[in-house]
Amino acid sequence: MTRARVPPEVILISGLLIALITTGPRVSMGLFQLPLTAETGWGRDVFGLAIALQNLLWGLGQPFAGAVADRFGAVRVMMLGAAVYALGLVVMAMAPNQGTFHLGAGILIGLGLSGCSFNMVLGAFGKLLPESWRPLAFGAGTAAGSFGQFLYPPVASLLIGEVGWHQTLLIFSVVTLLVMPLAIYLASPKAPAPAGPVPRQQTIGEALGEAFRHPSYVLLVAGFFTCGFQIAFITAHLPAYLRDLGMPSWVGGWSLALIGLANAVGSLLAGYLSGRMPKRWILAFIYAGRAAATVAFLLLPPSPTSALVFSAITGFLWLSTVPPTSGLVMVMFGTRYMAMLYGFAFLSHQVGSFIGVWLGGVLYERSGTYDVVWWLSVALGVASAVIALPIKEHAVVRPAPQPAE
C-alpha cells in the first residue's frame, strides 16, 4: 500500500498559507521596539541583540531541520517548529527581564522558524511538486511570505495601539499554531518498494563535501550573506529610524507593509524569470538595485513619500533573491538534499542578518545614528552583485551510481 498523493494544488495552497503565517510575526518585530523600550527602559541594543539572536538561531537550526526533513519528511519538523515559535512569542510577551526576553524573542523564535518557515516550504515544494511547477512555486512561496509582511505590520500596529504589545504577541502566538494542521498536507508519499537492485545513495557527509568543494555554491552562499544583512537591518530598525527623522508612526508600519506587497510581485517575477534566464544575472541585478535604492534614499531629503518609495523599490528586490538561489541549489545538486544544502546557504544569510541587526543597535546606542550600517549595506550590495556573475549554472558531475551491497 502506498499513501495517497496529495494534489499539487493542495500542496501549493497549504505551503503558501504556512509561509504567510510564519513570516508575519517575524517581519513585524520592528514595530515592537519603541513600545517595548519605552515600557522597560531597555536600550535599542537589547532589542537588537534579541532579534539578531533570532536570525542567527534560525540560520543555525535550518541545515539541521532541513537534513531531518530530507530524511524523514517535513511534517513533524514543521509541527515542532510551529510549537516552538508560538512558545517564543508567549515568552517574549511575558518576559520579566532581559535574559528571558532574549530566550523568547531570540532563541525560541529563531529555532522555531528553522523548522517551519518558508525555507522548509520551498524544500517540500522541490520534492512534492511536478518539475514544471517548481520555478513559479518557489516564487509563489516567497511571495506568500511577502503577503504576510504586507498583512501583519498594519494589523500589528493597530493591535499595539488598541490592546498593547503584550497582547498582540499572544494573538500572533495563537495564529501561528495553525501551521500544525496545514503541515499535514506537505507529507511525502511512501515510496513503493524497489523491484531491482537499489543504487547506493549519497550520504549527508558526501553531499556537504561535494557542495563546499563547488566554487559556484561557495559564491552563492557568500552572496546570500548580504541579503540577510540588508533585510534584517531594515526590518528591525527602519520603523525606529523613520521616527528619528520625525515621521509619524504610521510611516514605519506602512513602509514594512509596502515592502511586503512589493516583494510579492518581485518574488513572483523572480520565480518566473528563473526558469527563463540565467539566475546569476537576476541575483546581480537585485543586489546592485538594492545598493542604488539605498544611496538614493540616504541622499534625498527625508519625507514620508521618500520612505514609501524606498520601501516599494526595496520590497520589489527584497526576497526575490530566494527563487534564483534555491533554484541554483537544485540545478547544481538535485532535490535529494535540497532542504539541507539550501539551509547552509540560508545560514550564511542569517549570519548576515545577525550582524546587520546587532550592529545597527550597538552603533545607534554609541553614536545616535544608523549611518555607518546604511553605507555598509550599500558596499555589501555592490560586492554581492559582482560575485554573483561568475556562478556556473549546471549540475555537478558525479560518477555513475553503484548498486548497494
Q: Which of 217, 182, 255, 188 is nearest to 27 (CA)?
A: 255
Beta bridge partners of 403: 199
Backbone angles phi, psi at 398, to 5 degrees: -120, 150
Single-letter amino acid, residue 268: L
Q: Which of 211, 235, 210 is nearest to 352 (CA)?
A: 235
Classify 8-186+207-388 by CATH class: mainly alpha
- Whether the per-residue pLDDT at 364 is higher than 60: the answer is yes
* Amino acid 192: pLDDT: 52
Work out the pLDDT band at 398, boundaries 50, 70, 90: low
* Amino acid 63: pLDDT: 80
Asked whether 267 and 121 are in contact (CB, 8 A), the reply is no
Region 226-242: what's the mean pLDDT?
Answer: 89
- Whether the per-residue pLDDT at 400 is higher than 60: the answer is no
* Amino acid 211: pLDDT: 85
Region 55-82: what's the mean pLDDT?
Answer: 85
> What is the reported pTM?
0.74
What is the rounded average pLDDT for all residues in the chain?
A: 86
Cell numbers at 182, concatenated: 496545514
- Whether the per-residue pLDDT at 3 is higher than 70: the answer is no
Cell numbers at 286, concatenated: 537585485
Compare 401 and 215 and report the one with higher pLDDT. 215
Residues 301 and 290: their CA atoms lie apart, in Å, by 19
* Amino acid 198: pLDDT: 53
Q: What residues have CB less than 8 Å from 18, skipping those under 6 apart?
A: 78, 116, 118, 121, 179, 182, 183, 186
Q: Give tens-digit pLDDT for 18-38.
A: 989 998 898 888 889 889 988
Compare 123 and 168 and report the one with higher pLDDT. 168
58 C-beta neighbours (distance < 10 Å), count: 30
Region 194-199: what's the mean pLDDT?
Answer: 53
* Amino acid 200: pLDDT: 60
Q: Give tens-digit pLDDT for 81-140.
A: 999 999 999 999 999 999 999 999 999 999 999 888 877 887 788 778 887 787 778 777
Burial track 237-261 (b if 16+ CB lie within 10 A, e otherwise): bbbbbbeeeebebebbbbbbbbbbb
Residue-range domain boundaries for the chain: 8-186+207-388
- Whether the per-residue pLDDT at 2 is higher than 50: the answer is no
- Whether the per-residue pLDDT at 404 is higher than 50: the answer is no
